[in-house]
Structure 1
Amino acid sequence: MSELLDEGPFFHGTIADLRVGELLTAGRRSNYRPEIVMNHIYFTALVDGAGLAAEIAAELSRSEAPPRVYAVAPTGPFENDPNVTDKKFPGNPTRSYRSSAPLRIVDEITDWTRLTPEQLQIWRQRLTAILSSERGEILN
């Protein structure tokens, strides 16, 4: 990308236990469609958006690992996430991005808003509906 899309800071939500300096890379299975190996690594400029992604990752993987949010730094160019921008939301109100270049872990963030059990149930229902519809297609 030739123009700066966002100055950040940027965040990534996951269940992985990572350390400062480690790299997050593309080539992992999608949290939403495990049969798809992702060509990009996804991140957001909204800490609670990353928290939501971490909660969903934990939910979908049925893992006992706690959801985690990391501050990250892109190591290469990035673009708006086409899975949410314009396709589902005009513009990029979620400030969501993706890159084929790695993201460097800068810090672990512990001050983010966790979902209540009721909110998590609502997200479970939304995900089931989205993943069973055409809207569940992932632009990889």
Structure 2
Amino acid sequence: MTSDPESAADGGERRAVTYEDCGHVAGPFFHGTKATLDPGTELVPGRGSNFQQGRVSNHVYFTAAVETAVWGAELATALAGTEERGHVYVVEPLGPFQDDPNVTDKRFPGNPTRSYRTRHPLRVVRELEDWTGHDPATLTGMLESLARLREQGLDVIED
């Protein structure tokens, strides 16, 4: 069994992913969204957030786990009030990146969601067509949990 340098799940030390030290993180990488994008499109910071209306994101968020990107696609469409499925894309970071502090060690110690963010563009390589969404009850539960956090003022995004 080989050790994953990003995770301490095997009992080893977790190696943090920083702008200065991100080369050890292997793709493929994914981005889940409500947007329809073409291959070659570059996702850049400075756009509206999928998760907080009226907020401009200083980073572009992505993951090395399909499941995490699926959540991104489903939550983005649900929060936008659409019945669409959303989209999951294979992406390529065009610059350095770091652990997403909104989930790493704050909500999920050790970054098991393999979530990252960058101030550099992500290039869309292709759409991932073959992904399975969550059942409606699971998605509703997640949306209710987010709503509770919002009501308590705890839906803070460190951007």
Fold shared, TM-score > 0.5 on shorter chain = yes
Distance of 2:74 and 2:45 partners within structure 1:
20
Q: Counterpart of 1:2?
A: 20
Does the 8 Å CA contact 2:33/2:50 hold for their aligned counterparts?
Answer: no
Letter in 1 for 2:142: W
- Count of aligned pairs between the two proteins: 140
1:42 alignment partner, SS class: strand
- 1:32 deviates by 2.0
Distance of 1:37 and 1:55 partners within structure 2:
20
1:52 alignment partner, SS class: helix
- 1:63 deviates by 2.4
Distance of 1:133 and 1:8 partners within structure 2:
36
Structure with larger RCO (C-alpha < 8 A, sep 6+)? 1
Letter in 2 for 1:95: R
Q: Counterpart of 1:37?
A: 56
What do residues 108-136 of structure 1 show as CA deviations (whole Å, max 9, x unaligned)? 00111211111111111111112223431
Unpaired runs of 5+ residues, structure 1, are: none
Residue identity over aligned pairs, in percent, reads 46
Does the 8 Å CA contact 1:32/1:131 hold for their aligned counterparts?
Answer: no
Does the 8 Å CA contact 1:5/1:79 hold for their aligned counterparts?
Answer: no
Q: Counterpart of 1:48?
A: 67
Q: Counterpart of 2:119?
A: 100
Distance of 2:108 and 2:85 partners within structure 1:
29
TM-score (norm 1): 0.93
TM-score (norm 2): 0.83
| Rg larger in structure | 2
Distance of 2:101 and 2:136 partners within structure 1:
29
Distance of 2:152 and 2:104 partners within structure 1:
18
- What pairs up with 1:1-140 in 2 under 5 angstroms? 1-3=19-21, 4-140=23-159
Letter in 2 for 1:99: T
Instruction: Choose between structure 1 and 2: higher helix proportion.
Output: 1
Deviates more, 1:76-85 or 1:61-70: 61-70
Unpaired runs of 5+ residues, structure 2, are: 1-18
- 1:31 deviates by 2.0
